[in-house]
């Protein structure tokens, strides 16, 4: 399993713990558990976005600013905006400021879950598209193990 795959699996595991803690925090009205659950969900998103960026650009961002900048360079303004919004809700407001707004936090956690599902789906799709091997027939003909071995003469 590639490193970014391990990172995405880790992100999913952390999100699962965050969802369990969040549910318990709401039932018990435990503000500290709520804050910790929100930050775990945020951390899950950070790992997932790092995995996505690494898979696309072969670089692991080192800061929130770098993540947003790379997402913009990748023409993923939608993801950059969502990242910023979720960071504000879960990390800044819920965790650091202690803002108790379960509806907003729950919405943000659901968005993180959707994001992870999108990344998993994209990873699975790209894995299916990856050729198993390339074979050079001559300087003009290359085929993969999934293509016909008969040369077409096309470059």
Phi first, then psi: what are they for 60, rounded to 5°? Answer: -105, 115
Look at residue 123 in the predicted model and tell me its pLDDT: 82
- For domain 3-144, give the fold: 1.20.120
* DSSP string computed for 75-129: T-HHHHHHHHHHIIIIIIIIIII----HHHHHHHHHHHHHHHHHHHHHHHHHHHH
Residue 135, C-beta contacts closer than 8 angstroms, at least 6 positions apart: 142, 143, 144, 145, 149
Between 31 and 124, whose confidence is greater? 31
pLDDT digits (tens, 9 = 90+) for 122-147: 888 776 655 444 444 444 444 444 44
pLDDT digits (tens, 9 = 90+) for 50-67: 999 999 999 999 999 999
| pTM higher than the cut 0.75 | yes
């Amino acid at each position: 399993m590639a490193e970014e795959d391990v990172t995405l699996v880790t992100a999913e595991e952390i999100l699962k713990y965050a969802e369990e803690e969040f549910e318990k925090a709401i039932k018990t009205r435990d503000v500290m558990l709520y804050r910790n659950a929100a930050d775990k969900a945020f951390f899950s998103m950070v790992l997932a976005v790092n995995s996505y960026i690494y898979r696309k650009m072969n670089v692991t961002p080192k800061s929130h600013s770098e993540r947003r900048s790379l997402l913009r360079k990748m023409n993923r303004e939608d993801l950059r905006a969502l990242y910023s919004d979720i960071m504000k809700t879960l990390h800044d407001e819920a965790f650091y400021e202690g803002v108790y707004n379960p509806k907003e936090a729950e919405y943000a956690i659901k968005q993180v879950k959707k994001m992870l599902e999108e990344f998993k789906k994209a990873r699975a799709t790209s894995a299916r598209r990856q050729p198993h091997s390339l074979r050079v027939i001559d300087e003009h003909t290359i085929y993969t193990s999934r293509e016909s071995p008969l040369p077409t003469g096309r470059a």
